[in-house]
Structure 1
Amino acid sequence: MSQLCAIEKCIRKSRWICDCCQQHLCLQHLNEHNAFLISQLNPLTDEINALDIRLKTGNVQNKISNSRLKLEQWRQDCYKKIDCLFEQKCQELDQLVNEKVNEQREELSRIHLKISKLIDAQETTRQDIDSLTLTIHQLEINMNNIERTCFTIDTRPLPIDDTFISIKKIS
């Protein structure tokens, strides 16, 4: 014997079993049930369209802009540290060169003073001339060494570790 429609107060005979809810329904109520299910698709489409608009308008990009700013600040801080170290080492190099140059200036002044005294006294010996010639020659060698850069600079690549920055999803 056929079953009655599962809808309350309906006296019609069941024609089908709904696949989704397993109810026995008459043709009229099956059509109504189907129309009701289909009508629920439109609001879902509206929700999907709204989400698509949010993705297209860049709301997601706006949300991550603070994170990008934080990364940019980290990069700028690293550049500042590198620039600071660079300036420090340039000053160190300048100081070393200036020390060498000043040593040569002092030696040059000392020799110049000695020659001036000998000229003023109008008295010199072959030994004085040989000593001054040797000292001037050594001074010239020293200055040539300075001009050829008498400093060695050893550098190593800056190690960049991917773990310096970690990005974690916040739930």
Structure 2
Amino acid sequence: DRNKLINDFRQKLDKWRDDSYKKIDLIYEEKRKELEQDWTERVAKPRKGIDLMQSKLNGLIRKKKATHEDISRSTTAIRYIDQKIKDIEQKGIQMNIPTLFIDDNLTYIKESKIEETDEFQLLSSYRSIDCSAQSGVAFAANNENLLIYESDYLNLLNRDLVPIQQIPWRYGHIYDMSWSATLTNFIIITDKKIVYLINESSLSLKVIQSIPQEKWWSSTCSDKSLFLSTYGTDANIFQFNLLSSFELIKRWRSPDTCREYESIHDINYANETLALIITDSSTKIARLEVRSSTTLTQFWSFALNINHISYQPSIHCCQIKYSEWIVIIENTSNIFHISKDEKLIRRRISWAGIRVFRNWIRSQLRPNTKLCGPR
């Protein structure tokens, strides 16, 4: 229905606008407090100093203990400080407020047809980050920032891959992380079976107590739900409500998730669908399945032309424009580009190491996309 589609788009656009206003208001409040603190340090405190000095001098005069030298020295100091304050008040506080830049391409309307000339191209990297595959790397991105786990540290970078903040991580090896636009927090799962909320601004963490301890392996978020899959064969998928303190909505078990001898290597939400990377422990064959995010009904499946065994690098997927999918096999040269009607558009074999592409973050990947390196 046309009106429903338009209303849905408007709601998403309104939510994006409201979230942007909240972020602007937050920055405004921080800068306002900084301004008040700066004014206090430069003007209010010296004024109190003058009042205190004048009070002490008056006390000495009343007690007839003040010498001419005391009076002269105090008067000179008071006049000097008073002149400094007047200079500051006259010049004012110099502020550099740059114009807010908003990229028109942050939101876009998808075309209904795919032109042959608009085929996905893997461009040369604008910037890259060297990562240590031995220690394990995990990524998650939103429209503004990128969170990276490597060598027992969490690193927050901006869209130009410039470091913003770093904190040590001592809470177990991170298997996966994802971004929740609804909560404006990162979600992290570890080998300790614990799920954490990570604040984007401060990188402070909070254990999500309502989520049970399971062998969590992969995570993804919709606007309303958090989906978690478990490690190993006979994998389960849990759905938790983001809007009601992570209340459990549903738990899917085998054979609804996969067969008892199969594993789920990755789970990724996009447009009311869940993409699953499933591997068969008996045949070693991997496949991409796209399913309904509400019922797990399979829409289509694509067999990846690779043999995969448990100790090999993981496989990850993400949706790009036109409901197409990218599948990446870590630490190999394999990148699959798959159409929305389960056809292989291109298989790229020029992947060299682990790199984060700025062009992907800005134009290809969805805001909730996970970018993951070796677990």
How high is the TM-score relative to the length of structure 2? 0.28
Aligned to 2:73: 131
- Structure-to-structure mapping, 1:22-41, within 5 angstroms: none
Aligned to 1:49: none
Aligned to 1:63: 5
Give the one of 44, 49, 58 matched to 1:116.
58
Contact 2:57 2:71 in 1 (8 A): no
Give the one of 100, 122, 125 matched to 1:158.
100
Aligned to 1:78: 20
Aligned to 1:142: 84
The letter for the 1-side match of 2:107 is I
The verdict on how the C-alpha distance between 1:96 and 1:149 changes in structure 2, with shifts beyond 3 A counting, is farther
The letter for the 1-side match of 2:72 is D
Deviations 1:3-41 (A, max 9, x none): xxxxxxxxxxxxxxxxxxxxxxxxxxxxxxxxxxxxxxx
The letter for the 1-side match of 2:33 is Q
Query: Aligned residues, how many?
Result: 113
**Displacement of 1:64:** 1.4
Give the one of 83, 88, 91 matched to 2:30.
88
Higher relative contact order (CA 8 A, sep 6+): 2
Contact 2:60 2:66 in 1 (8 A): yes
Deviations 1:151-170 (A, max 9, x none): 21101111111211122146
**Displacement of 1:149:** 5.3
The verdict on how the C-alpha distance between 1:87 and 1:149 changes in structure 2, with shifts beyond 3 A counting, is farther
**Displacement of 1:143:** 2.5
Structure 1 runs of 4+ with >4 Å offset: none
Aligned to 1:99: 41
Deviations 1:34-84 (A, max 9, x none): xxxxxxxxxxxxxxxxxxxxxxxxx52332110111011111111111111
Distance 2:91 2:72 in 1: 29
**Displacement of 1:99:** 2.2
**Displacement of 1:136:** 1.8
Aligned-pair identity in percent equals: 32
Contact 2:46 2:81 in 1 (8 A): yes
More strand by share: 2
**Displacement of 1:141:** 1.0
Distance 1:133 1:66 in 2: 71
The letter for the 2-side match of 1:103 is K
**Structure with greater Cα Rg:** 1
Structure 2 residue matching 1:148: 3-state secondary structure: helix
More helix by share: 1
Distance 1:87 1:148 in 2: 25
Distance 2:91 2:18 in 1: 33
Does 1:168 find its partner at 2:168?
A: no
Contact 2:50 2:81 in 1 (8 A): yes
How high is the TM-score relative to the length of structure 1? 0.57
CA RMSD of aligned residues (A): 2.2
Which ranges of structure 2 fall in alignment gaps of 5 or more residues? 114-375
Distance 1:104 1:158 in 2: 35
